[in-house]
């Protein structure tokens, strides 16, 4: 092609892989640089020798409304490998857990009481599912909007624990469009890929290699700068490589460090974005923890548990896929300066294990076969009032340099579906620039 370009992508997460797919099919020569020795980013997984499937480091699933991810999978011809089981989510109330993953179960939930509280809960949920006017909602915080329309009791029982759990001390700053997006897009059936998300990422990466994409794993980029000839130079473990275009798919903070010569206004827009970190411990157990077969336990911070959520993965995907092991996640969203980012794996395990008897009084520490600990400082963007005005543009002020991160998928919540959407949206912009 006369307009073939040399294109670099920083990051082999799902967004970077999706962008590469469109760019290489448009005839461009694409190189992906990934600092880790695996693809998949935050959707990557681990796999024991006796497991048939991988386990995601940070619990992941798809919703039936995830049109961007499912559409990509359809293009690849892999839909038969997508499964949508129906697991069960429960919430904590007065030392018990109750199903809370449908409007019927929500209306039966005893914490709401009877009469007007349940009516207001149902009407608020219906309105948020029906409306598309999220821009009006971002003018209000979840705290003020829900207190007004759902009522104090319903808000304090259902919604306030959710936003406190996700955003900690920042919860009163979160705008209502974030809550709207969660209720708008989610479904009770949850999707996964045959073999796990790592299997999908590995298979997708192999497809890209067959199309001609060069994926360089274990290769960190330390600096990106514009050259006098309009091209971009990337410092790759000291040697310099030059490209016509570059897409960075990383956190805003990393983007700011990677390209310090960005104009002050754009740099400022990156650095003022706030995000929560995540700490996840995975336990492989000898036997099932939840005798009721529950998948996801939502836990209010006020209940005194040492984590926000407990997820028994093998009540969603059969333990047969994991050699009979029962897989449990203990996870939390926390500020990156929280002590959980400093404690070692053994210290955190000592914090977490006593709480497991609150899910099953029969639990004994010797049920634990193996544990893994994963932490990331960039897991959940914090969307404040009128947040749409704070989003950095995909096209940076430096010609040929693009940025696509989960901080830019707003009002939607982070996840692989919107990683695909923003990665492909960035690719379309890059392809359009090349066509001019």
Give the global pTM. Answer: 0.94
Checking if the pLDDT of 359 tops 60, the result is yes
For position 147, what pLDDT does the model report?
A: 95
pLDDT digits (tens, 9 = 90+) for 257-282: 999 999 999 999 999 999 999 999 99
∠ Cα 13 417 316 (to 5°): 95
For position 2, what pLDDT does the model report?
A: 58
Checking if the pLDDT of 434 tops 80, the result is no
Checking if the pLDDT of 1 tops 60, the result is no
Task: Examine the domain organization and report whether 107 and 253 are in the same domain.
Answer: no
Residue 380 belongs to some domain of the structure:
no
Residue 362 belongs to some domain of the structure:
no
For position 4, what pLDDT does the model report?
A: 86
Query: Domain boundary at 185, 205, 232, which?
Result: 185
- Number of domains making up the chain: 2
Task: Examine the domain organization and report whether 10 and 58 are in the same domain.
Answer: yes
For position 411, what pLDDT does the model report?
A: 93
Residue 228 belongs to a domain with what CATH number? 3.50.50.60
pLDDT digits (tens, 9 = 90+) for 315-354: 999 999 999 999 999 999 999 999 999 999 999 999 999 9
Task: Examine the domain organization and report whether 407 and 267 are in the same domain.
Answer: yes
Residue 356 belongs to some domain of the structure:
no
Q: Write the burial class of residue 306 (CB in 10 Å: 0-12 exposed, 13-18 middle, 19+ buried).
A: middle
CB count within 10 Å of CB 339 equals 11
- Asked if residues 62 and 73 have their Cβ atoms less than 8 Å apart, the reply is no
Task: Examine the domain organization and report whether 76 and 119 are in the same domain.
Answer: no
Name 106's Cβ contacts closer than 8 Å, sequence gap at least 6: 100, 112, 121, 125, 158
Task: Examine the domain organization and report whether 240 and 217 are in the same domain.
Answer: yes
How does the average pLDDT of the chain come out, rounded? 94
Residue-range definition of the domain harbouring residue 151:
102-185
Task: Examine the domain organization and report whether 125 and 67 are in the same domain.
Answer: no
pLDDT digits (tens, 9 = 90+) for 410-419: 999 888 999 9
- By three-state DSSP, how is residue 12 classified? coil
Query: Domain boundary at 185, 213, 247, which?
Result: 185
Query: What is the CA 133 to chain-centroid distance, rounded?
Result: 24
């Amino acid at each position: 092609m006369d307009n073939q370009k040399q294109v670099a992508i920083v990051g082999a997460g799902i967004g970077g892989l999706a962008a590469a797919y469109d760019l290489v099919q448009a005839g461009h020569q694409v190189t992906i640089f990934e600092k880790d020795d695996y693809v998949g980013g935050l959707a990557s997984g681990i796999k024991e020798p006796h497991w048939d499937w991988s386990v995601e480091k940070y619990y992941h699933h798809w919703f039936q409304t995830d049109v961007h991810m499912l559409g990509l999978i359809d293009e690849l011809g892999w839909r038969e490998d997508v499964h949508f089981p129906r697991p069960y989510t429960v919430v904590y109330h007065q030392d018990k857990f109750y199903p809370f993953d449908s409007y019927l179960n929500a209306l039966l939930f005893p914490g709401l009481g009877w009469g007007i509280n349940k009516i207001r809960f149902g009407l608020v949920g219906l309105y948020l599912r029906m409306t598309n006017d999220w821009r009006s909602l971002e003018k209000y915080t979840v705290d003020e909007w829900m207190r007004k329309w759902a009522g104090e009791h319903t808000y304090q029982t259902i919604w306030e624990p959710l936003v406190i759990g996700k955003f900690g001390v920042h919860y009163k700053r979160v705008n209502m469009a974030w809550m709207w997006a969660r209720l708008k897009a989610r479904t009770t059936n949850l999707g996964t890929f045959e073999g796990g998300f790592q299997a999908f990422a590995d298979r997708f990466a192999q497809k890209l290699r067959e199309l001609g994409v060069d994926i360089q794993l274990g290769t960190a980029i330390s600096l990106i700068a514009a050259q006098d000839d309009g091209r971009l130079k990337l410092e790759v473990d000291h040697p310099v490589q030059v490209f016509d275009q570059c897409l960075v798919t990383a956190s805003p903070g990393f983007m700011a460090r990677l390209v310090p010569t960005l104009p002050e206004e754009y740099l400022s827009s990156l650095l003022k974005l706030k995000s929560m970190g995540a700490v996840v411990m995975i336990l492989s157990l000898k036997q099932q923890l939840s005798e009721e077969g529950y998948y996801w336990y939502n836990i209010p911070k006020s209940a005194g548990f040492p984590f926000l959520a407990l997820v028994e993965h093998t009540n969603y995907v059969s333990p047969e896929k994991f050699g009979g092991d029962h897989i449990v996640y203990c996870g939390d969203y926390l500020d990156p300066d929280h002590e959980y980012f400093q404690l070692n794996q053994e210290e955190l395990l000592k914090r977490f294990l006593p709480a497991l008897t609150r899910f099953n009084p029969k639990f004994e520490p010797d049920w634990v076969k193996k544990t893994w600990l994963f932490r990331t400082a960039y897991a959940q963007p914090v969307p404040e009032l009128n947040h749409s005005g704070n989003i950095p543009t995909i096209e940076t002020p430096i010609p040929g340099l693009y940025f696509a991160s989960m901080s830019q998928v707003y009002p939607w919540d982070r996840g692989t579906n919107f990683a695909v959407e923003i990665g492909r949206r960035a690719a379309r912009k890059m392809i359009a620039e090349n066509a001019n």
